[in-house]
Amino acid sequence: MLEIKNLVKTYATKLEKKGEVVSSLILDRISLRAAEGEFVSIIGPSGCGKSTLFNLISGLEVPEEGQILLHGKEIMGERGHVSYMLQKDLLLPWRTVLDNCILGMELQGFTRKDCRSKAQALLEEFGLAAYSNSYPYALSGGMRQRVAFLRTMLANKEILLLDEPFGSLDAYTKSEMHEWLMDVWNKYRSTVLFITHDVEEALLLSDRIYVLSSQPARVQLSLDVDLPRPRSREMLVSQEFNQLKKQIFQVLFSDKTTSLNI
């Protein structure tokens, strides 16, 4: 469904002291794919170019080389094909949970009434109804991420891009979020691209994992995760799980410049 071929992206940066402009290669021939309904994770050291990759897929930026194909059609530089949940939740503090959820839909021109009834139904389905009239400041970190995720889903695009959505949550909240997310994903089977630097998280959630090197990012490993679903935290101690984990760690640690905190 989504196919990315040989993407190359460089950024021009100005050296502060000398004022010289240097160009640095960020993505070096990145290729990956996601079939319909697949959950695909991207792991890589901090600063390697993961968010840049999402900016290209969402059409916010264009690469110098390569192709981004959706159902075989080139979508490079085109917006509107994916819903993108940024690293920060970016909920609007002056809008209630319900009205934050409908932002993406409103931008597409649906009436506020239609948006609200659809969002309310989803909030109820996924255990957030009690918060629909609350403001973001009153919510915990985990709740805010749930709201941001439902907003992303309500934009109703074929692909969800999630950029480290649980990166700032504590371990316990994170594991609750995994269960919640899997529940939502199981019901809707959206195609998801998920950035994380948490190897266990990637293994618990994904059908396939791409491991990127430090800058310039190259695909170091593409790993199919064929662990049975539903997956639970008990799996963390299983032999199969640890075998896959080992494969990822070997690649990450063979990359000498990796600055991952694991």
Residue whose CB is less far from Mg ion, 51 or 67: 51
Q: Residues 48, 214: contact at Cβ < 8 Å? A: yes
Amino acid, res. 258: T
Q: How far is CA 70 from CA 3, 8, 49, 67, in A?
A: 6, 18, 21, 10
Select from 6, 23, 46, 133 the one that contacts ligand ADP (CB under 6 A).
46
Residue whose CB is less far from Mg ion, 105 or 160: 160
Q: Any idea how long the chain is?
A: 262
Alpha helices (H) along the chain: 50-57, 97-101, 103-107, 112-125, 141-154, 171-188, 199-205, 239-254
Q: Does 48 bind ligand ADP (CB under 6 A)?
A: yes
Rounded to the nearest 5 degrees, what angle is found at the Cα of 248, between the Cα atoms of 49 and 153?
55
Residue 163: CB minimum distance to ligand ADP, A: 7
Q: Does 52 bind ligand ADP (CB under 6 A)?
A: yes
Q: Does 47 bind ligand ADP (CB under 6 A)?
A: yes
Q: Does 85 bind ligand ADP (CB under 6 A)?
A: no
Residue whose CB is less far from Mg ion, 139 or 216: 216
Residue 107: CB minimum distance to ligand ADP, A: 23
Residue whose CB is less far from ligand ADP, 21 or 107: 21
Q: Which residues bind Mg ion (CB under 5 A)?
A: 51
